[in-house]
Structure 1
Amino acid sequence: MTTAADIMHPGARWIPAHETLDRAAQLMRELDVGALPISDENERLCGILTDRDIVIGCVAMGHDPARTTAGDMAQGTPRWVEADADVSQVLGEMQGHRIRRLPVIQDKRLVGMISEADLAGHLSEEQLAGWVESVYAKA
């Protein structure tokens, strides 16, 4: 059985909710990623911040990324999977919520992220096509 731990990109990092978006952008650049899970003061997942969120939700709205926090951008209920979840659970979570990145948790700690690139390297063509259709199709 293929699990989330098998397909994830290990070593994901949190951005604390109190950190500013300019710091988040710097961390994204350092890590060469387009998304960071947002953690509360107890290191619990409270959202995901993407590079697009920073541009569209902050800069394009005329807000200052040095004064806007990651927590200000956290919206909705964050989705995640346990490291031992099988690939069907991973796909179900991503397809059901039309999300492109999924944090992987083990023992209540962030251990990795699953992105499109991770899926592409581990799924059959049929599975990948079904994922693309459900996530990218217009609602």
Structure 2
Amino acid sequence: MDENIEDKPANLDIPEQLQYSTEHVWVDDSVSPALIGVTEYAASQMGELVFLDLPETGTRVEAGDEIVELESSKAVEPLVCPVAGTVRYVNRDAADDPSVITNDPYGEGWILKMELDDDEPQLLSADEYGAMIK
């Protein structure tokens, strides 16, 4: 997703327990398999999501792979995965009703659950991500 999006909204939720990529993807590796989704900032910039193209479970992913296609009323954007691993679950509820991602990006709007490789991904803390989008 475009890192130089204009009109950055204030007062966005940036949960402290998550880690973030510069492509506006969050990772919760405190659970196994890890949860992955798009940030509230990204969801607000894309507008209402109308379609979600998810990978198959069992798909092997490298950090930097474009693994999900998010289609909104404004644009089609890839979700660039910030971590390497294997897709274990996809959120079929979000595929059936993509607005759940817009309405609850850190809860019911998760996109993937992945079994992560042991490597240390280069992710931002909540404070670092907040500073980036300001």
Q: Same fold judged by TM-score > 0.5?
A: no
TM-score, normalised with respect to structure 2 = 0.27
TM-score, normalised with respect to structure 1 = 0.26
Larger Rg: 1
Structure with greater proportional strand content: 2
